[in-house]
A and B are shown apart, each in its own frame.
Chain A
Amino acid sequence: MTAAPAPTASRPRRRIPAAWWLLLPGLVILAFAYFTPMLWVVRMAFNRFIGGGGIDVTLSLDSFVEVFTDPYYLRVAGTTLALGCWVAVLTVLVAYPLALFLARTTSKYRGLITMFAIAPMLVSSVARTYGWMVVLGNQGLINTVLSGLGLTDRPVQLANNFTGVVIALVQIFLPYAVLAMSSGFGRLDADLEQAAASLGANRFTRFRRITLPLTLPGVLTAGLLVFVLAISAYVTPRLIGGGRVFVLAAEIYDQATNQLNWPLGAALSVMLIIIFGAAIGLYQILQKRVERRMSGL
């Protein structure tokens, strides 16, 4: 056996691993384009609005007090939260069977089917929102069909309200959910379900005891992703909401560009960031719990 040359007995030099150098460009961009503006937004929230676009650079909690006590803003936050939850849950429910099918199919058309599933992403969400307005409106496709069949005498209110926004957002975020899920379905092996079947588990038990637990991490990831996308959605609530659905993103835009009340807009942004943070915290708790069950501890 040949001994490796002994390291020279000099003082150990602290060396920066190569990986850190590779991270550097990304970190620089993040610092420049993300952390700095973020800090700037937080700082702005502490300033005071003095009307007519004027901003008093100071350290005041006025904007926060307004945002966290005014019933109107609390209601907007509530609507945003509800929208995020509804859209996340419904999108996951619709995407799950699709993602499961894509993960399991052995069809030679699998690539093509996947492409169809995510193809809607190629169309801008603005265009898709207008599409939904055509479908959901009072003179839209659904209502024309319903009244044509004599099923309803008055149009069903699907646009210009919360329901319409949820429907449109579920469809718009579906491809993201499918992609997020199917990338998390790697642990699902057809052999596992067959093994469960050979041990006497019927279809339902197989799903409950094997498929669902093994796909749960992917479901959680997709849920978080869609929730985050939904609470920061701006265009769809604006257009399909028809001026009746108020969400934080639209409110922030309004304060920043119409009222020129930047401190209030910034405080609303901080509120949105808090909701983000809470969602990510919840996600990590759930994910850890699932992981622990997963590893059988």
Chain B
Amino acid sequence: MADPDFLRVSRLRKEYPGTDTAAVADIDLSVGEGELLALLGPSGCGKTTTLRMIAGLIDPTSGTIEVAGRDVTRVPVHKRGMGMVFQSFALFPHLDVSANIAFGLEMRGVKAAERRARITAVLERVELAHLADRRVGQLSGGQQQRVALARALVVDPSLLLLDEPLSALDAQLRQSLRTQIREIQQASGTTSVFVTHDQDEALSMADRVAVMNNGVVAQVGTPTAIYERPASVFVATFIGRANLFDARTVGAGAVEIAGLGRLAVAASASSSPQKQAMIRPQAIRISDADGTPGETLSTPALPVFDGVVRSTSYTGDQIAYRVDVAGTTLDVETTAALGRIRAQGDRVRLSWSSDDLRMLGE
């Protein structure tokens, strides 16, 4: 039975001397055994500080870190038994690939014969067996990244920590390494925490995502939950694109939006004051307008609006429109395969299902 609280971070806080605000402000996190949690947020949100506190590289001001029920908050970094992959990869430049990977095994007193066997096995897993004797400086960025991953994994760490492991690589390589890291992580079943500022990376790789902002966790959830049911304006706009409206609550499950009238809405999980409604561009369906322009066909439960295409941007698989509707402009995105491409000035009809329009906390 997998432990749902394999890593448990409680009221973790870090204040740096000479600053007014805490870099990390009393955050709580749990990561289940074998799970991959992404810490996602803009730079300066405290995600790297959090990761480094878990690793033991930064001392927390207060709070506790437990791994498998054991409090490791005051355990020095070299006794935590975690594996870490650095943004810079931090491969030892004076050692070759095998010697880099052997380092952690030597520290654990693993015998030479077993060491060789484990190095061979892990190099095969990251598909670098042919480069074992290569100098680190002779490797490409992607290869260095995989050596860093192998070096962290070969010691069977209790926890694998990845600090922006892909941000030093170019876009195409990032894509393929994402899948590879995810597969290796799942195959080894290593509980992992992954820091990134890239929402695509977080959504595509993680079992759960913790969105951080200003030193606090804004929302934790599965990628679908975070994307489809963001709790706050920050999460909605940080992850993906969103149409936001000022909305006034006019009874249970209904809001009044200027220009669009009274609409049914799904409530947010957030307890903070809710003044804005949001709909994702992909949730809006676009079709040909057959009604008279300007006539509102909408009912609160089945919103339908006629509008005019203001601009079209075609990116191969996706088409993004900006559509003017009753004084507001909506972003609409559709898959290019569906229907024809509409041009600027075309009259279109927009509709959505009422539970895609959501209220957001501040």
- Between A and B, 20 residue pairs with Cβ closer than 8 Å are A189-B88, A194-B57, A194-B84, A194-B86, A195-B86, A196-B92, A198-B56, A198-B80, A198-B161, A199-B104, A200-B104, A200-B155, A202-B78, A205-B107, A209-B103, A296-B93, A296-B94, A296-B95, A296-B136, A297-B96
Which residues of B, 33-80, contact A by the 8 Å Cβ criterion?
A: 55-57, 77-80
Q: Which 9 A-B pairs have the closest CB atoms?
A: A200-B107, A199-B104, A195-B90, A191-B90, A198-B84, A296-B96, A197-B77, A294-B94, A296-B135
Contact at B135–A200, with CB atoms within 8 Å?
A: no
How many Å lie between the Cα of A198 and that of B55 in the bound state? 7
Residues of B within 8 A of A196 (CB): 92, 103
Residues of A within 8 A of B126 (CB): none
Contact at A198–B57, with CB atoms within 8 Å?
A: yes
Identify 15 new A-B residue pairs, CB closer than 8 A, beyond the known A199-B151, A200-B155, A201-B103. Answer: A187-B93, A189-B90, A191-B90, A192-B90, A194-B84, A195-B84, A195-B86, A195-B151, A198-B57, A200-B79, A201-B78, A209-B103, A296-B96, A296-B135, A297-B135
Which residues of A, 155-208, contact B by the 8 Å Cβ criterion?
A: 187, 189, 191-192, 194-202, 205
How many Å lie between the Cα of A198 and that of B79 in the bound state? 8
Tell me the smallest distance from the CB of B192 to a CB of chain A, in Å: 14
A105 CB within 8 Å of chain B: no
How many Å lie between the Cα of A296 and that of B136 in the bound state? 8
**How many residues of A are counted as interface, with CB atoms below 8 angstroms from the partner's CB atoms?**
23
A210 CB within 8 Å of chain B: yes
Closest partner residue, chain A, to B83 (CB atom): A198
A214 CB within 8 Å of chain B: yes
Contact at B135–A197, with CB atoms within 8 Å?
A: no
Residues of A within 8 A of B103 (CB): 196, 199, 201, 209
Closest partner residue, chain B, to A196 (CB atom): B103
Closest partner residue, chain B, to A108 (CB atom): B18
A8 CB within 8 Å of chain B: no
Which residues of B, 119-150, contact A by the 8 Å Cβ criterion?
A: 135-137
Residues of B within 8 A of A214 (CB): 93-94
A295 CB within 8 Å of chain B: yes
Which residues of A, 192-234, contact B by the 8 Å Cβ criterion?
A: 192, 194-202, 205, 209-210, 213-214
Closest partner residue, chain B, to A191 (CB atom): B90
Interface residues of A (CB under 8 A from B): 187, 189, 191-192, 194-202, 205, 209-210, 213-214, 293-297
B82 CB within 8 Å of chain A: yes
Closest partner residue, chain A, to B108 (CB atom): A200
Contact at B78–A293, with CB atoms within 8 Å?
A: no
B319 CB within 8 Å of chain A: no
Of the candidates B81, B92, B96, B161, the one whose C-beta lies within 8 Å of that of A192 is B92
Contact at B82–A198, with CB atoms within 8 Å?
A: yes
Interface residues of B (CB under 8 A from A): 55-57, 77-84, 86, 88, 90-96, 99, 103-104, 107-108, 135-137, 151-152, 155, 161
Residues of B within 8 A of A297 (CB): 96, 135
Number of interchain pairs (Cβ within 8 Å): 79
Given the known inter-chain contacts A197-B78, A296-B135, A297-B135, please indicate yes or no for A210 contacting B92, CB distance below 8 A: yes
Residues of B within 8 A of A293 (CB): 94
Tell me the smallest distance from the CB of A189 to a CB of chain B, in Å: 7
Residues of B within 8 A of A201 (CB): 78, 103, 107
Residues of B within 8 A of A195 (CB): 84, 86, 90-92, 151
How many Å lie between the Cα of A294 and that of B57 in the bound state? 26
Residues of A within 8 A of B135 (CB): 295-297
How many Å lie between the Cα of A187 and that of B135 in the bound state? 15
Tell me the smallest distance from the CB of B148 to a CB of chain A, in Å: 8
How many Å lie between the Cα of A209 and that of B104 in the bound state? 12
Residues of A within 8 A of B88 (CB): 189, 191
How many Å lie between the Cα of A189 and that of B90 in the bound state? 8
Closest partner residue, chain B, to A294 (CB atom): B94
Residues of A within 8 A of B92 (CB): 192, 195-196, 210
How many Å lie between the Cα of A205 and that of B151 in the bound state? 17
How many Å lie between the Cα of A192 and that of B95 in the bound state? 12
Residues of A within 8 A of B99 (CB): 296
Tell me the smallest distance from the CB of B258 to a CB of chain A, in Å: 51
Residue in A194, A197, A198, A294 with the greatest tally of chain B CB atoms within 10 Å:
A198
Closest partner residue, chain A, to B88 (CB atom): A191
Tell me the smallest distance from the CB of A288 to a CB of chain B, in Å: 14
Residues of B within 8 A of A213 (CB): 94
Tell me the smallest distance from the CB of B347 to a CB of chain A, in Å: 46
How many Å lie between the Cα of A198 and that of B163 in the bound state? 13
Residues of B within 8 A of A198 (CB): 55-57, 77-78, 80, 82-84, 152, 161
Residues of B within 8 A of A294 (CB): 93-94
How many Å lie between the Cα of A75 and that of B136 in the bound state? 49
Residues of B within 8 A of A296 (CB): 93-96, 99, 135-137
Tell me the smallest distance from the CB of B272 to a CB of chain A, in Å: 37
How many Å lie between the Cα of A275 and that of B99 in the bound state? 39
Residues of A within 8 A of B161 (CB): 198
Residue in A199, A213, A214, A296 with the greatest tally of chain B CB atoms within 10 Å:
A199
Tell me the smallest distance from the CB of B39 to a CB of chain A, in Å: 17
How many Å lie between the Cα of A297 and that of B95 in the bound state? 8
Given the known inter-chain contacts A295-B135, A296-B96, please indicate yes or no for A199 contacting B90, CB distance below 8 A: no
Contact at B94–A295, with CB atoms within 8 Å?
A: yes
How many Å lie between the Cα of A198 and that of B91 in the bound state? 12
Closest partner residue, chain B, to A206 (CB atom): B78
Tell me the smallest distance from the CB of B59 to a CB of chain A, in Å: 13
How many Å lie between the Cα of A294 and that of B96 in the bound state? 9
Of the candidates A194, A200, A209, the one whose C-beta lies within 8 Å of that of B90 is A194
How many Å lie between the Cα of A12 and that of B143 in the bound state? 43
Contact at A199–B155, with CB atoms within 8 Å?
A: yes
How many Å lie between the Cα of A191 and that of B135 in the bound state? 19
